[in-house]
Amino acid sequence: MVNTELLLLYWRLGNAVLERQREEGWGTRVIDRLATDLRAAFPDMRGLSRSNLKYMRQMAAAWSEEAIGQQPVGQLPWGHVTVLLDKLDKLDDQAQRDWYAAAAVEHGWSRNVLLQQLMNQLHCRVGAAPSNFPAQLPPGDSELAQQLTRDPNVLDFLDLTSRVRERDLEDALVHRVQALLLELGHGFAFAGRQYHFEVDGDDFYIDLLFFNWAQNRFVVVELKIGSFEPAHLGQLGFYVAWVDQNLRQPDRHSPTIGILLCAGRNDNVVRYALASATAPLAIADYTYDTLPLAVREAVPSSEQLGTAVAAALSGEGTLTVGLASPSAAAPLAGEGTLTAGGEPQPATDVEP
């Protein structure tokens, strides 16, 4: 209540600035004069600087007094409000401001987390991954499950600056599990990596297993460094079915879902593959697009990664793909040297 009253005070000051500027016109230094007068009248009160008065004017232009008292923005600290005004400063950004304000209140985001989600355009990615949830889950549950997907998943926090294999990617994700849980969304708890189970003596390993306590369901995540292939869904569907039968308690838990993270996809192939799957599955990309250019140039494309893994598994030796010089190559498997596609090529700005 104290926070809301403070925001209402700031809103009234901002509204006063707007009214004075309308009456006196631009160039009359309304904000400068008001900041000087307020500091003189209230020398012990903080937050009455010229820059803060500009934010107050922006807030008064963006929200009504009733909105500050009744909507989620009124429950945010002032620092959160300034972030929203800084990063969403256009007139047509109001719907996004309200969306992020509501999400920040619901999930208890810190100011830095709010800033990160704004920079990564979370509002465009939540629930955006193609899935078969509407066909495999009841209507209400399918909508909830869809909200657990993000497309693409932004994995910049991994700082991967060299060639990676799926296990390397998994290692990095687990090492930065807190950042991963934040990227996955609200309510995720880490249940295990390389989660082992047996079926009639055969061993299987789930890349990453999570439990989402907000929706009360297990979430199986499978990692692929290459582009999507229909065969990936068979493996993921198998894992989901096992978790559903052996870990899930039907009277307590919602149906298990599976999310495949891959480095690229053909949407038509995805559509056909999902149509034939019987488990509730979603397919999402991951990206390092907001990494600095120099870092992104060091990360090969999904096609190059797929070629590298295939060559390594075939035992044909060291692979030099997308590297600035042959000396940058490191052995993956086997002996000798293999140069994919001829001589080593200079690094280029490729999409991960």
- pLDDT, one tens digit per residue, over 304-343 is 555 555 555 555 444 333 333 333 333 333 333 333 333 3
- Token pair 């209140």: residue: 105
Pick from 323, 112, 293, 350: which is nearest to 341 by CA? 323
Check: CB of residue 234 under 8 Å from CB of residue 258.
no
Contacts of range 170-179, beta carbons closer than 8 Å, 24 or more positions apart: 170/194, 170/207, 170/208, 170/223, 173/208, 173/223, 174/208
User: 3-state DSSP call for residue 151?
Assistant: coil
**Residues facing residue 282 across a β-bridge:** 131, 259
The per-residue pLDDT for 145 is 83
Distance (Å, whole) CA 184 – CA 117: 11
Q: Answer for the pair 235, 222: CB distance below 8 angstroms, yes or no.
A: yes
Q: Residue 27 has which token pair?
A: 């160039």
Helix (H/G/I), strand (E/B), else coil: 131:
strand
Tokens standing for 257? 């879902």
| Residue 301 one-letter amino acid | S
- In total, the chain counts a number of residues equal to 352
Q: Map out the domains of the chain with their CATH numbers.
A: 2-119 (no CATH), 133-287 (3.40.1350.10), 300-352 (no CATH)
Taking the C-alpha atoms of residue 334 and residue 39, their distance in angstroms, rounded to an integer, is: 73
DSSP E strands in the chain: the ranges are 153-154, 188-199, 202-212, 217-223, 257-262, 281-287, 318-319, 337-338
Q: Based on DSSP, count helices (H) and strands (E) in the chain, helices before strands.
A: 16, 8
- Judge whether 101 and 116 are in contact, CB under 8 Å: no
- Of the candidates 109, 152, 101, which has an alpha carbon nearest to the alpha carbon of residue 127? 152
Do residues 272 and 127 lie in contact, with contact meaning Cβ atoms separated by under 8 Å? Answer: no
Cβ-based neighbours of 232, under 8 Å, separated by 6 or more: 222, 224, 260, 262
pTM, full prediction: 0.49
**CA-to-CA distance for 222 and 206, rounded, in angstroms?**
7
- Residue 58 is encoded by which pair of tokens? 């922006």
Tell me if residue 175 falls in helix, strand or coil: helix
Residues with pLDDT less than 70, the chain = 26-28, 128, 151-166, 169-170, 172-183, 287-352
Report which residue type is found at 62.
Answer: A
Supply the DSSP symbol for 322.
Answer: S
| Residue that the structure tokens 């919602």 belong to | 254
Give the model's pLDDT for residue 81.
93
Phi, psi angles (nearest 5°) of residue 77: -65, 155
Running DSSP on this structure, what letter comes out for residue 256? P
